[in-house]
Structure 1
Amino acid sequence: MPTTRPLDEVQARTSFARFRVASIVEGIALLILVAIMVMRYLVFGEPGEQHELWGTISSRWSPIHGLIYMIYVVLGFDLWNKMRWKLPRMLLLMFFGVIPVLSFFGERWTHGQVERDLASRPTLQDEERAEA
């Protein structure tokens, strides 16, 4: 029977803290992007000065949002790796950053999963607590 190596609770919690911040920032950035697109295409959809202004704002914000999402993906991968979850969980973490507002709910759900896994799986800190 293969034994599973214990998780490092400190690394996992640190990784989750970074992911939590990234989730909030990504959620806000995506909401800003949606607002810009609404202004550009629905409010000022007709060609004109305002449409051009929102086009410029969109062309500046879109790459910034893309960078924020890439950071979110990297931090999600880091958390996934530290928690040693299966691939579907990684895909779910990435999906949380795609739909506006979902990253906020996904962060709360992920927090519960991290806490549940740290409570039910062996950690290095369990061994240290037992020795103390």
Structure 2
Amino acid sequence: MGGALTRYRVIAWIVGVVLIVLVVIGMPLKYLFDSPVVVETVGPAHGFLYMVYLVAAFDLARRADWPLKRMLGVMLAGTVPFVSFYAERRATAWLKKPAERTPEPVAG
């Protein structure tokens, strides 16, 4: 499950950063300065990357046996600026909690 978590964490950060660039830089340039170049280039990239994010989130949720509500919440996190960062931290915490509670065997 470590590989699925790593893939999810990486794509969550990428999608989050690209969405922030789109919303914070691209949208003001388009609507305030009539320059849609950032939206026209970053928008489709975000759309493609969001599809990759959905696949990574689904894979992680399936491997972790998450309930449907949690899985959908994590998947939707890539559509709201800054929320993918929060969801990534929560998903990591959800998956690391059981590992921390499990005692390791004592060598002896």
* TM-score, normalized by the shorter chain, greater than 0.5: yes
Q: Displacement of 1:31 after TM fit?
A: 0.4
Q: In 2, distance between residues paired with 1:87 and 1:111?
A: 17
SS, match of residue 79 in structure 2: coil
- Which consecutive residues of structure 1, in runs of 5 or more, have no partner in the other structure? 1-11, 45-50
Aligned length: 105
Q: Does 1:107 align with 2:97?
A: no
Residue in structure 2 matching 1:80, options 45, 61, 78:
61
Letter in 2 for 1:62: G
Cα deviation, 1:33-59, whole Å, max 9, x if unaligned, reads 102012211x31xxxxxx1xx223322
Q: Which residue in 1 is equivalent to 2:37?
A: 56
- Cα root mean square deviation, aligned: 2.1
Residue in structure 1 matching 2:16, options 27, 33, 40:
27
Cα deviation, 1:103-129, whole Å, max 9, x if unaligned, reads 1111111110011244568xxxx8xx6
- Which consecutive residues of structure 2, in runs of 5 or more, have no partner in the other structure? none
Q: In 2, distance between residues paired with 1:79 and 1:114?
A: 10
Greater CA radius of gyration, 1 or 2? 1
SS, match of residue 36 in structure 2: helix
2:12, 2:78 within 8 Å by CA — same for their partners in 1?
yes
List 4+ stretches of structure 1 deviating above 6 A.
Answer: none
Q: Displacement of 1:94 after TM fit?
A: 1.0
Q: Which residue in 1 is equivalent to 2:7?
A: 18
TM-score, length basis structure 2? 0.86
TM-score, length basis structure 1? 0.71
Change (3 A) 1:62 1:30: same
Q: In 1, distance between residues paired with 2:20 and 2:3?
A: 26
Q: Which has the higher contact order (CA 8 A, sep 6+)?
A: 1
Residue in structure 2 matching 1:37, options 9, 27, 36:
27
**Seq. identity, %:** 31
